[in-house]
Amino acid sequence: MKLDVDVLRYLSKEDFRVLTAVEMGMRNHEIVPSELVDRIASLKHGGTYKVLKNLLKHKLVHHDSSKYDGFRLTYLGYDFLAIKTMVNRGVFASVGRQIGVGKESDIFEVASEDGTILAMKLHRLGRVSFRAVKSKRDYLKHRRSYNWLYLSRLAALKEFSFMKALEEHGFPVPNALDCNRHCVIMSLVPGYPLVQVKELQNPEMVFERIIGLVVCLAEHGLIHCDFNEFNIMIDDDENVAMIDFPQMVSVSHRNAQMYFDRDVECIYKFFGKRFNLSFEEQADHSDSAEEDAEDSSRPCFSSINKTAGFLDKELAASGFTRKDQADMDKFIEEGSDEDAVSGDEEDASDSTEAIVRDTDALHLSEQPEQIQEGDGADKDETRQRVAASRHESEAQDGSEERGECEEDACDAELVKRLNKQRRRAIAAAHGGRKALASRNSYKDKGGRSSHNSKIQKQLSGW
Ligand code: ADP
Ligand code: MG
């Protein structure tokens, strides 16, 4: 996916304010009604509609009028919110080239103020189909519907928490530096993914080290679950590091044995093929071999002493912290209500109050830190000497592309409509006349409440 951060420099406080309003609205709506965006952003004189046009032009939001007139964030819009927050926090100051693309993430180099190069991983869970995600990812649990913002944020948070815990226990992993929304900032691992390495001076030793890591993880209560040549980095001195943690599970997971054996098998297979290592069991190990009781060298899940540490317990078993898990459970329970909301536009929980409550509960926007008044934000804007390399990455997910085509097609019509809405809002603001609802308009019952002013406070920094 293209990440043209140059645009960031030209975005105003109002742009970010409206973008944040769309994000907040998405807590309860897949498509956020224009009127609701306007109400949350609360810009004077119908300013929201003008800003929405600009955000649309830069593909930071997507317009949808199939049910009612509304908007949703695009991944790019979400990227910008996360990047802006990180830059405001002083984590990094510029974004560089893309160094990795997975089916569920994009990885970029970023540079801090003092020139240190770091890695930024942007999770993109909506890229694969929900069914595939749900079957693989235990953090979705019983949730029936999903929201890619939420899923990607959760994946990032899980990865960040696991990376930090592993680092603290001496595992060779990147240094986890910060996390916001779907974005994780970590140290740049020197070297290359093992898959790119054709020759090793000491393949046996590297192999032992890597298998040792799988065992050591299990001793600490964890299984990587995607432990393969793509997620192992190796440097010129043949030091190894592991990356990519959102799918890790506890050794008490019901499929733990299978995941463990699969991780081990991946390494055996790769080293057998790439570096011609031969293993005792290969004679009686055909492709379908699962367990081999006679193979004394291959690590066996059941005989591993899993008492070196209880990282899985510390991380609340295949979750992250207890609090995150609790927040998430709450969200999952509310998920069923949310399903109803998207089908029933008149549900009471559409109110602004509900958005504030839910947003607060989930910390979707970390207002106190990310929204700094006045000079902080201004200073940061000038600090954004963002030198982007324009990367055409792999294809985005189909729906996004489809969305963008539709976007182009109805652009002119939309601009007309936005102008109309803007005029109406201006008229309403001036004359005290109620804004007329458009044909597709969304009926929102939430009034301007005290909660509303809370949002205004939260938004005031953009
Ligand atoms: P995915 O979940 O999409 O597989 P990964 O975390 O495995 O994402 O990262 C994809 C690629 O990006 C890796 O194979 C590696 O080349 C690169 N990469 C990821 N994290 C780092 C890092 N901290 N330092 C250097 N390269 C990295
Ligand atoms: Mg990976």
Q: What is the reported pLDDT for 369?
A: 32
Q: Known catalytic residue: 358? A: no
Q: How far is the CA of 95 from the centre of ligand 2 (A)?
A: 21
Global pTM value: 0.71
For residue 21, which of 81, 82, 89 has the smallest C-alpha distance? Answer: 81
Q: Is 191 in the pocket of ligand 1 (CB under 6 A)?
A: no
Q: Are 277 and 224 in contact (CB under 8 A)?
A: no
CATH class entry, domain 1-89: mainly alpha
Going from the first residue of the chain to its last (462 residues), give the mean pLDDT of each consecutive group of 10, the final group possibly shorter. Answer: 78 95 92 95 90 96 94 94 96 94 89 96 71 48 58 89 92 97 97 96 97 96 94 97 92 92 97 91 50 68 84 61 50 36 31 35 30 35 33 36 42 62 63 44 42 46 47
Rg (CA), the chain: 24
Q: Is 186 in the pocket of ligand 1 (CB under 6 A)?
A: yes
Domain ranges of the chain: 1-89, 192-279+301-332
Q: Are 41 and 21 in contact (CB under 8 A)?
A: yes
Determine the topology of domain 192-279+301-332 in CATH.
Answer: Transferase(Phosphotransferase); domain 1 (1.10.510)
Report residue 395 CA to chain centroid gap. 18
Name the phi and psi angles at 94, rounded to 5: -150, 155
Q: Closest-lying ligand to the alpha carbon of 121?
A: 1
User: Given 69, 106, 226, 397, which residue is catalytic?
Assistant: 226
Atom of ligand 1 nearest to the CA of 243: 6
Output the residue whose Cα is nearest ligand 1's atom 11: 100
Output the residue whose Cα is nearest ligand 1's atom 1: 102
Q: What is the reported pLDDT for 195?
A: 96
Which residue's structure tokens are 């190990």? 285
Q: Give the span between the Cα atoms of 248 and 259, in whole angstroms.
A: 10
Q: Is 200 exposed, middle or buried (0-12, 13-18, 19+ CB in 10 A)?
A: middle
Q: What is the reported pLDDT for 196?
A: 96
Output the residue whose Cα is nearest ligand 1's atom 14: 230
